[in-house]
Amino acid sequence: MTTLSPENSLSARQSASFILVKRKPPIDKTEWDGFFDENGHLAKSRDFICVNILERGLHPFMRTEAWKFLTGYYSWQSSQDERLMVDSTRRKNYEALCQMYEKIQPLLENLHRNFIETRNNIAYDIQKLYDKDPLGNVLIDKKRLEKILLLSYVCNTQAEYQQGFHEMVMLFQLMVEHDHETFWLFQFFLQKTEHSCVISIGVGKNLGMLNNVINILDPVFAEHLKGKGAGAVQSLFPWFCLYFQRAFKSFDDVWRLWEVLLTGKPCRNFQVLVAYSMLQMVRKQVLQESMTGDDILLACNNLIDLDVAELISAACTAYAELVQKDVPQPLKDFFL
């Protein structure tokens, strides 16, 4: 057992101070532009920028550009001219993938037994999406969204389509203007977050690590969850599959949390500490009422319209507590 030492991440003191310091306004265009020199190279360190995003967030008008850095769509070492070339290349590559898909689609329909089923699932999920704002204006183009999801399914062998991807890609489509940006940002997002929202890759690992964190930080709660509340934690997989989308009242709140997860601050796999902090919101009720697993799940599903800033602060506090504990090496490796 070793102390979780945050050499490559935000210190425990910095994490704890996140909730104590009065937060400054989000990073706007003027400040963002000041992070770069006249050639578009970084004039500030990547860590400096990521810590500021953790603590303050991004102005909505800056998200498209900033997320291209956070996801890896752009290299942090690139110049403005190099980024223009990257955009051109990404667009051409996307168009080439679309052409390839059109050519092989008949073959997929005849030989790939899962293709038609997946295509139908995507179409069904997209039709259920509510695509208008409160004023009745159409927010998304469902046909374009369906095309991007199908292309992602065909091209991404690591992350086959799963329910919930349509909601995630919709948020990228709302953020950017062009389809090639939506497609590549989603692919890079999956890679950057280590496929932790993918059922067959990262969700089970997240749930296992969540159990470990509860055992270390809250043994009393852990004991209840192992006994009368058995099965509750394993049933929280939708939190990770949807990356907490349904816990917030607005898309801006979802983007705010996601951009923190993309920074890698205060640590890797911060989503597990977010989930732990959400569980803590129902802890008192669960223990007072001695809830069973099904009742705990119902209470967790009722966590909606959360304050994203308070949730990020609570998760930072949990990390600050965790770094003071003796933890198994696998857990240390998971967060650092």
Q: What pLDDT is recorded for position 118?
A: 94
CA atoms within 13 Å, Cβ hemisphere of 168: 26
pLDDT digits (tens, 9 = 90+) for 305-334: 999 999 999 999 999 999 999 899 999 999
pLDDT digits (tens, 9 = 90+) for 124-161: 999 999 877 777 888 889 999 999 999 999 998 788 89
> 111 falls in which pLDDT band (50, 70, 90)?
confident
Residue 60: other Cβ atoms inside 10 A = 14
Q: What pLDDT is recorded for position 204?
A: 94
Whether 9 shows a pLDDT value over 80: the answer reads no
Whether 18 shows a pLDDT value over 90: the answer reads no
Q: What is the mean pLDDT of residues 292-303?
A: 96
Q: What pLDDT is recorded for position 11?
A: 52
Whether 183 shows a pLDDT value over 70: the answer reads yes
Dihedral-angle region of residue 325 (phi above 0 means left; psi in -120 to 50 means alpha; beta otherwise): beta
Q: What is the mean pLDDT of residues 211-221?
A: 97
Q: Using omega within 30 degrees of 0 as the cis cutoff, is the peptide bond preceding 6 cis?
A: no
Whether 13 shows a pLDDT value over 80: the answer reads no
- Computed over every residue of the chain, the mean pLDDT equals 91
Query: What dihedral angle (degrees, nearest 10) is formed by the CA atoms of 239, 311, 323, 222?
Result: -50
Burial class (CB in 10 A: 0-12, 13-18, 19+), 134: exposed
Among 12-21, 58-67, 125-134, the range of highest mean pLDDT: 58-67
Q: What is the mean pLDDT of residues 240-261?
A: 95
Whether 193 shows a pLDDT value over 60: the answer reads yes
Q: What pLDDT is recorded for position 20?
A: 43
Q: What is the 3-state secondary structure (H, E, C) of the chain?
A: CEECCCCCCCCHHHHHHCCCCCCCCCECHHHHHCCECCCCCECCCHHHHHHHHHHHCECHHHHHHHHHHHHCCCCCCCCHHHHHHHHHHHHHHHHHHHHHHHHHHHHHHHHCHHHHHHHHHHHHHHHHCCCECCCCCECCCHHHHHHHHHHHHHHCCCCCCCCCHHHHHHHHHHHCCCHHHHHHHHHHHHHHCCCCCCHHHHHHHHHHHHHHHHHHHCHHHHHHHHCCCCCCHHHHHHHHHCCCHHHCCCHHHHHHHHHHHHHCCCCCCHHHHHHHHHHHHHHHHHHHCCCCHHHHHHHHHCCCCCCHHHHHHHHHHHHHHHCCCEECHHHHHHHC
Provide CB contacts within 8 A for 41, sequence distance 6+. 77, 78, 79
Whether 1 shows a pLDDT value over 70: the answer reads no
- Which residue in the block uniquely carries the two structure tokens 């998971």? 334
Task: Output the pTM of the full model.
Answer: 0.92
Q: What pLDDT is recorded for position 187?
A: 95
Whether 283 shows a pLDDT value over 90: the answer reads yes
Residue pair 147/179 in contact (Cβ under 8 Å)? The answer is: yes
Q: What pLDDT is recorded for position 8?
A: 44
